[in-house]
Structure 1
């Protein structure tokens, strides 16, 4: 039996923590609008933190499927990107310590990796593991973003969004496997899937990250700074509205999504809102136009 502690290296001067939350997200699985990625990146940029554990990415990643960037300058190699999968110690706006685990999703040794996460949870006395990501849905950006909650115990998400999908079969992820396996061992773990408009799934959508952090805050009591994220959300929504006003086609498509969404909320539409481009009003065209528009906005800001 392989030792899961061989997969990571602990930092120095480790603190003794009291029932911290471990918030985690891995890049590589579905994350519409960058909801989970943007949420954790925002916290790491806004709050002081330090690395307390680092995973051995050479064992966990397939470099040929996700080749790291290297820099060639004139006649020599001068730089190579080093992927990192780490656990950070961080404090919220009120000074409460918690942990963030982020980086690329492992390509191999999933079961051993999950056991390694369980070992770290035991070492740091983690009380609750929480994850969040975005999923594309047939919803308009003009309505509040929904959230589907899931957990190892129903009590962890009582009163929150549940039951929209029933029993479904989906591709697996390490994040989901952590919840499944560690939950079977008696650990509390939960997650949030933010419903992101399908036409914005490939863009960075700050509102989705903000919705994710609000859901995590409600379930954990952690207090997050969100002003800059809120400002980014307002700016992005304004850019989207500008694009819609300039296109009759977009306005018509959004109106159709609003009617479908309102009917669903009212209970007159019994089907779910999982995005299916074949059923959406000009869904592919809608997404393509938004992607082109947002790409142009990024190019202008970088120019």
Structure 2
């Protein structure tokens, strides 16, 4: 980490993007990646919304040749008659942005690193040290057996218990596949940096299509935790339209039977957060029923797109 630390120390002296910001203001680093924790494309939609007003100034760009598996996630390139052009080169960078009131924050986004997670975490650590970041906030989303007709559930986690600002509806100790976000939060905590994360639960049957409801929930959680302010009106309009469309499709597919089971499960859990499962598990849709609904729902979306 020494080589990068000396680089950033020199960079800040020569061209500090935070010049003019009072020393008492320490930027938050917000991050989300296209990868494992991107159900419903919700984190990506949230990132795009944050960058809608301004692209921001790039303060650090990662060398993706160290981290990206080009053969597993091949970028697009346009073949134009007899030559190639418009190579869609993947980028992973940190940008300086400002919220609606001008407060600065850093946004790290791009494809989730495939390789050298420990090296990547160390490089992020150097960025944090260089810009005096006191808090990092990760945004993610996972598919879960929840209904789209209820408020989006957020699972909160942190490198220290006293950083938690809410109770989780789902409480369990389970082994889950690691992501760069989980490893990064773990390592930052070990290195003495405060790190928190918010993961939205996206209905399983829409996990492969855009789901702005979870994006709104993630940005609301970010605002509540950091005090950063964002105009979410445009996202809320998209949310209402998407929910109405999903509800129509689900009703046409099974008359709402599977949805009703998910709603009963959700309502039971909200009535008693200490009860991890509904009292009558026979009322819940099976994994096969949910899978069938996912496939049929996506098939109908494809047919509708082709028709349009």
**Is the TM value for this pair above 0.5?**
yes
Name 2:281's counterpart in structure 1.
none
Structure 2 partner of 1:46 = 53
**SS of the residue 1:98 aligns to:** strand
- From 169, 176, 191, the equivalent of 1:170 is 176
Match of 1:184 among 190, 196, 214: 190
Q: Is the 8 A contact 1:4 1:113 kept in 2?
A: no
Structure 1's 174 and 244: CA in aligned 2 closer, same or farther, altered over 3 A? closer
Render the CA deviation track for 1:69-98: whole Å, top value 9, x for unaligned.
111111122232211001010000011000
Runs of 5+ consecutive residues of structure 1 not aligned to the other structure: none
Tell me whether 1:128 sits opposite 2:135 in the alignment.
yes
Q: 1:197 aligns with which of 182, 203, 210?
A: 203
- Residues of 2 paired with 1:194 and 1:132: CA distance? 8
Query: What's the offset of the Cα at 1:252?
Result: 1.2
Q: Contact conserved, 2:169 with 2:273, CA < 8 A, in 1?
A: no
Q: Hey, what does 2:15 align to over in structure 1?
A: 13
- Measure the CA separation in 2 of the matches of 1:153 and 1:170: 19
CA distance in 2, matches of 1:55, 1:172: 21
Q: Distance in 1 between matches of 2:273 and 2:106?
A: 43
Q: What is the root-mean-square deviation in Å for CA atoms of aligned residues? A: 2.7
Cross-structure match for 1:241: 247
Equivalent of 1:225 in 218, 231, 234: 231
Asked if the contact 2:17–2:96 (Cα under 8 Å) also holds between the matched residues in 1, the reply is no
Contact 2:262 2:285 in 1 (8 A): no
The answer to whether the Cα contact below 8 Å between 1:140 and 1:254 also exists between their aligned partners in 2 is yes
**How many residues get paired?**
296
Q: What is the match of residue 264 of structure 2?
A: 259
Q: Rate the CA distance shift 1:148–1:268 in 2: closer, same or farther, 3 A.
A: closer
Contact 1:194 1:211 in 2 (8 A): yes
Match of 2:101 in 1: 94
Are residues 1:118 and 2:120 paired?
no
List gaps (5 residues or longer) in structure 2: 279-283
Equivalence for 1:146: 153
Query: Is the 8 Å Cα contact of residues 78 and 85 (structure 2) preserved in structure 1?
Result: yes
Whether the aligned pair in 2 keeps the contact of 1:34 and 1:208 (CA below 8 Å) is no
- Judged with a 3 Å threshold, the aligned counterparts in structure 2 of structure 1 residues 199 and 250 are, in CA distance, closer, same or farther, namely farther
Instruction: Report deviation, 1:270.
Output: 3.5
Deviation (angstroms), 1:20: 0.5
Relative to structure 2, which stretch is displaced further, 104-113 or 44-53? 44-53
CA distance in 2, matches of 1:88, 1:265: 38
Q: 1:5 to 1:67 in 2, by over 3 A?
A: farther
